[in-house]
Amino acid sequence: MAKEFDIPVLPTYLEIPELKEGIMDGEGPFKSAQEFQKPLGFPGEKIDNWQQVAIDKMGELKSKYRSVQVFLDSCVKCGACTDKCHYFLGSSDPKNMPVARQDLFRSVYRRHFTFAGKYFPKLVGAKELDDDMLDDWYNYFHQCSQCRRCSVFCPYGIDTAEISMAAREVLDAVGIGQKYCNQILGKALTIGNNLGLPEPALRDTLLDLEEEIEEETGVAIKYPLDQKGAEILLITPSADFFAEPHIDGLIGYGKVFHQDGVSWTLSSYASEGANFGMFIGSYDIMRKAALRIRKAALDLEVSRVMVGECGHAWRVAYSFWNTLSGVGAGATDEFGQKLQDQLDHRYPQPQHIIEYTHDLIQRGKLTFDKSANDDRTVTFHDSCNVARATNMGGIPGGQFILPRDVIKAVCNNYVDMERSTIKESTFCCGGGGGLLTDDLMEIRTKGAIPRMQALKAVERDNGVNTLTAICAICKSQFSKVLPKFDFDPYMIVSVHQLVSEAIIMDKPQTDTDDATSAETAET
Amino acid sequence: MGVFNSSTIEFESNMSVISIFFTALFYISLIVFLVGMARKIYQFWITPAPLKIPTAPTSLTQTGVVMRMMREVALFESLFKSNKWIWLFGWLFHAGLLLVLIRHMRYFWPGDLPEIFLLTQPFKYAAFAMVLGLFGLMLRRIFVERIRYISAPSDYLMLIMLLIIGISGAVMTFTSNHTDVIMVKEFASGLVSFNWANLPTEVHFLVHIFLVFVLMAIFPISKLLHVPGIFFSPTRNQVDDARSKRHISSWALKQEQEHATRLEQALGKDE
């Protein structure tokens, strides 16, 4: 059960806490049940010979992933990462220091796979994989949001996310899955999105949205679903269809597409940008989710694939799609090759919605009334997966530059948070990596402290009242944790919500006929 | 060479037990080091990196990656960003060790030294940087609570060994407790040219080389593997070009070919 805990007081300055051993000990998030495990190919419950299976799986993973093998061998325990994890800074539990988290896995690796650990376990800190260790794995590898901040600061680039993914994969292999991720994956792989929204429901939602926007703006903006032959297929997190503040971002995308006059569509078969296969470390499941998107792109005969505001979705799309399903270049199988022939390679494939909007702004295709956002002083939260694992615009640091450019193009008051908490050093929102579930609220709240502290500083010093992000998980997490730290929960918005508020739409049937020509051309 | 040949004849009959022991230890350690490192590097080499995972700030070109790796190896760029004290002590130690090692080549060089070795003469002072760095790292390991928490006995032991090596070396160089450098040279160059010779038997010298040989032997089975490890680290050595170039591992490609149709058919079907 999710236990009661006190909401910590936000410090004026972020300090490295003294260690409080065992403070985040616990049973971890709710465990997955048979009904969610089986469809993913995992045992329904903890198997009898779990120890042997786990060790074998570790051996398999370290032979399949160079990252795992090299990272397990290379750590010198220098301590550089020990004060870099938001979960450690927020919770004081030493097992949330990146190296200590890795050591839960590394100590077992040493015991079973290294000479020193086999013959001198005490000397090198090698440990047996017993029940206690397995419990620690489940608990503490679900207190890692795989945000990779530690990897930026490690002299060898050791990435705890890789170890955390491997550990979760081992846990799944012995039948101990996390309910939140595995239940969601079941929906994503059968229905097509994490919410389990079937096609009719999705269609209704989009129709409602169209009506709402037309009522409010007088412009008939369409949200096409399964429209064959559209130019762009938009893959966006399903949260965008459903809840505040996400849906205001979706409204923004629609307005930008409308102004550009491009034809676009969503897919009911692949109506999810998020790919939780990454969180549980499964290459195969991640690939399955990616293949749904490839199939949708092929079926709908689109020439461009675009990704909405979602952090890890953009990581999977930008860094992994080409590997998993051959979206951009170099595919060897017939489906991948067919898709590559079909896509328009004048555009990057896949392209981020921020890249698209940025490009339109650069080319002067969009006009804004920036004063529409004058009631806001805005700051931008770099979402970890976008910031540390992707690029935008094909220029160094483009993933930091483009979103800020877009924000500055649509509002007058922009302030960055402290340098050590943004860009490649950004602090995770506290809810990434499969942790966005109520049963992990304590670690989510504590892990948000470093970000909240930096936000508090710009609120105090610069009057910041709006926090923007381009990640569905960040937005959901902030909505939940902001009020715990005396912020307005509605201060978190999509970047495309700001775009949406400032964009000047060409309205049909205005004073002159000329103004309608753009609309006519589109329809 | 004539001088060396005659001495060869002499020591073969005269080699002390302790010299035989150290000579044997050197070769054993060297073989363990070479075989162990070759195996480990081979393992790193053949283990595929199935996904592109470079960490920001990434390089978009191969040249950029090479530059990044050079900065990482020579300047400890990431460590500098991370923690100035660890960087300072770590860099002092490594830079000092490198210079000291270069200077040690004079002992292994058979025969007269080329003039270039004169340039390495001042490198002896690097021993101070090395020892200072090691002390700093040791103090942090003992007194910084977070680092103490993550330290195993072997982490202290490694520092102690290196400290003893550094201090014993400095003692021989900078105090009156010199050892017979000519003898050292004959021993060391003899190891390289298989003209085995006796070694001096002052305790601090023996401790010095004993620990160096031990360190050599445990290199491939300890955290000293960070030396090859950094070059194989995917977050540092990958080019950030996933959208324009397909990156795929051998096992994933094989899997893809074997299961291609099955996966396509299974897609979207309810369980």
What per-residue confidence (pLDDT) applies to B154?
97
For residue B83, what pLDDT band results from cuts at 50, 70 and 90? very high
pLDDT at B8 over 90: no
From the CA of B36, how many Å to the nearest CA of chain A? 11
Chain A environment of B54 (Cβ under 8 Å)? 389
- Cα angle value B34/B37/B43 (rounded, 5°): 140
Q: Structure pTM?
A: 0.93
The three-class DSSP label of residue A268 is coil
pLDDT at B182 over 80: yes
When scoring B69, B73, B82, B230 by the number of chain A Cβ atoms within 10 A, the one with the most, hence best to mutate, is B82
Say what the ipTM of the complex is: 0.92
What per-residue confidence (pLDDT) applies to A78?
97
Of A76, A94, A320, the CB nearest to B51: A320
From the CA of A275, how many Å to the nearest CA of chain B? 15
Chain A environment of B81 (Cβ under 8 Å)? 152-153
* Residue with more model confidence, B270 or B15: B15
Q: What CA–CA distance (Å, rounded) separates A432 from A472?
A: 10
The alpha carbon of A327 is separated from its chain's Cα centroid by a whole number of angstroms, namely 20
What per-residue confidence (pLDDT) applies to B116?
87
The verdict on a CB contact (< 8 Å) between A295 and B264 is yes
The three-class DSSP label of residue B199 is coil
Of B59, B82, B90, the CB nearest to A153: B82
pLDDT at B18 over 70: yes
Q: What is the mean predicted confidence (pLDDT) over B180-191?
A: 94
% of chain B surpassing 70 pLDDT: 91
Select from B6, B4, B14 the least CA-distant residue to B198: B14
What per-residue confidence (pLDDT) applies to B39?
98
Angle between the A131-140 and A98-113 helix axes, to the nearest 10 degrees? 140
When scoring B150, B214, B253 by the number of chain A Cβ atoms within 10 A, the one with the most, hence best to mutate, is B150
Class at the top of the CATH hierarchy for domain B2-239: mainly alpha
pLDDT tens string B146-155 = 999 999 999 9
Residue numbers in chain A where pLDDT is lower than 50:
1, 510-523
What per-residue confidence (pLDDT) applies to B271?
36
What per-residue confidence (pLDDT) applies to A413?
97
Select from A141, A163, A159 the least CA-distant residue to A151: A159
* Residue with more model confidence, A142 or B5: A142
Q: What is the mean predicted confidence (pLDDT) over B224-232?
A: 97
Residues B213-216: contacts with CB under 8 Å, at least 24 apart:
B213/B22, B213/B25, B213/B26, B213/B29, B214/B29, B214/B161, B215/B161, B215/B162, B215/B165, B216/B29, B216/B30, B216/B32, B216/B33
What per-residue confidence (pLDDT) applies to A3?
63
What per-residue confidence (pLDDT) applies to A8?
83
Q: What is the mean predicted confidence (pLDDT) over B93-98?
A: 98
Q: What CA–CA distance (Å, rounded) separates B132 from B234?
A: 32
Instruction: State the CB neighbour count (10 A cutoff) for residue A217.
Output: 16
Chain B environment of A66 (Cβ under 8 Å)? 44, 47-49, 232, 234
For residue B268, what pLDDT band results from cuts at 50, 70 and 90? very low
For residue B13, what pLDDT band results from cuts at 50, 70 and 90? low
